[in-house]
Structure 1
Amino acid sequence: MSETAEQLITPTIIEQAMSYEEYRTMIDNLLNENKTTGSNHSEGMVKYTKMNVHRMNRLDKQTLLKAELGEALESVEQQWIWLVLTEAWCGDAAQNIPVIAKMADQTDNIELKLILRDEHLDIMDQYLTNGGRSIPKLICLDAETLEEIGSWGPRPKEAQEKAMKWKNDSEISNKEWGEKLHKWYADNRTEDIQEEFVQLIKEWI
């Protein structure tokens, strides 16, 4: 983490960040007002958010963590904070954050905290992906010092490679791009994100 990022992620930011349950409640409350997070409350953005709630509900119910990942999580002896930059309208956030929440629930040593990207662009800009503000972005922090241990995001590696390939293909429309990406997530059934976190946790320990 750069010196700037270290100064930006303060105890106040962590204190004001949301739990997964608070994040989900906030999204439901916004949808009740026909809104989403951020400043764009267009019909399209609200529609994306409603789809994302369905995705998160499904993943909350269906995600089972692999034994190897459970063992890796149980081996964490330090106190960590997983700070995640997200937005309710983001499809990748909906596909990955429920799995991350399941991981954090496996151990008392990891606390998951979520903040909205567009309210924290100063932090987001320390964690760009190919120059873009791609989310979700997870930053693993030492709970006591808030020193960065590592980061992950916005997608599992294979999904990221395919997403960039499709995005650069002039014959694939934005709509098709989204459909292909979400089909990848559906077919993958959280396999890649779980495997990646097994390795990351070993590195971060």
Structure 2
Amino acid sequence: MDFARYLVEFEYILNSPSPAAPYDNPAYLEYAKLNWSRMHRWLKKGELRTETKAMLERIAKPLHWIVITEPWCGDAAHSVPFIQLMAQHNAAITVEYELRDSLPFTINEYLTNGSKSIPKLIIRDEEGNDLAVWGPRPVGCQQLYDRLKAEGADFEIQKVALQNWYNTDKGSAIQQELMLLLSDVTSSVQSL
């Protein structure tokens, strides 16, 4: 599905009188509501850096991005808007969104340490060959998460700390990491 369809699916979950699992669980529905607000805030106020735009403008050959996500995912609420903003900056980039917990279950091919962690971005060439994979969160955020987990911090402490990290970062880390990936990808694609 494209981004517009993903937003329709997301909104349907939020407004459904009897949402399907896992959104029939009030906690998951509340996560989705918070993530809807967070995602729209970044779509409205998130800014692509000058160097990010310049890198995107250098992409000449078609790329297909697959974003695996779910509305309940807090990391996705902060990363997916920047992925979408970046993709929109160059017509050579097409984006497809897949829900992790629905067919075609592409996530099973892109596990993180054996886990179905999301969001996940797969960058492919026009023949469908994988060129790069990113996710589930920026390196600095992952390091914070790993440290908190090792310290035995409870879920609420982890959630607040990660939210604060994303708010402070303002999409900078994901742009920097994707620029590095795209730099490698465009070098290899243009040399073919």
Same fold (TM over 0.5): yes
Residue type matched to 1:64 in 2?
E
Give % identity.
Answer: 32
| Of 168, 172, 191, the match for 1:187 | 168
Q: Give the Cα–Cα distance (whole angstroms) in 1 for the partners of residues 172 and 160 of structure 2.
A: 19
Aligned partner of 1:41 in structure 2 is 24
TM-score for the superposition, normalised by structure 2: 0.92
| CA 1:105–1:43: 2 relative to 1, 3 Å | same
Structure 1 residues 26 and 76: CA distance shift in structure 2, 3 A: same
Runs of 4+ in 1 over 4 A off after TM superposition: 34-38
Matched, 1:174 2:152: no
CA distance, structure 2, for counterparts of residue 25 and residue 104 of structure 1: 19
Structure 2 letter corresponding to 1:63: G
- 1:154 is aligned with what amino acid? P
- The answer to whether structure 1 residue 85 and structure 2 residue 64 are counterparts is no
Letter in structure 2 aligned against 1:95? H
Q: Which residue of 1 aligns with 2:190?
A: none
2:135 — aligned with what? 153
1:191-202 mapped onto 2 (5 Å cutoff): 191-202=172-183
- 8 A contact 2:13–2:23 mirrored in 1: no
Q: 1:103 aligns with which of 86, 90, 94?
A: 86
Deviation at residue 39 of structure 1 after TM alignment: 3.8
Q: Structure 1 residues 35 and 195, CA, compared in 2 at 3 Å: closer, same or farther?
A: farther
Work out whether residues 73 and 118 of structure 2, in 8 Å CA contact, stay in contact via their aligned partners in 1.
yes
Deviation at residue 123 of structure 1 after TM alignment: 2.1
Tell me the CA shift for residue 122 of structure 1. Answer: 4.5
TM-score by length of 1: 0.86
| Mapped contact 2:22–2:28 kept (Cα < 8 A) | no
User: Given the superposition, is the C-alpha separation of residues 34 and 60 from structure 1 closer, same or farther in structure 2, using an over 3 Å criterion?
Assistant: farther
Q: Deviations over 1:35-93 (max 9, x none)?
A: 66754421000000000000011001111101111011011111111101111100011
Please give the per-residue CA displacement for 1:161-201, whole angstroms capped at 9, x wherever unaligned.
Answer: 1111112212x111111110111000111111111111111
2:96 aligned with 1:113, yes or no? yes
Q: Is the 2:65–2:124 contact (alpha carbons within 8 Å) kept by the matching residues of 1?
A: yes
CA distance in 1: counterparts of 2:103 and 2:130, whole angstroms: 17
Q: Residue type of the partner of 1:81? A: H
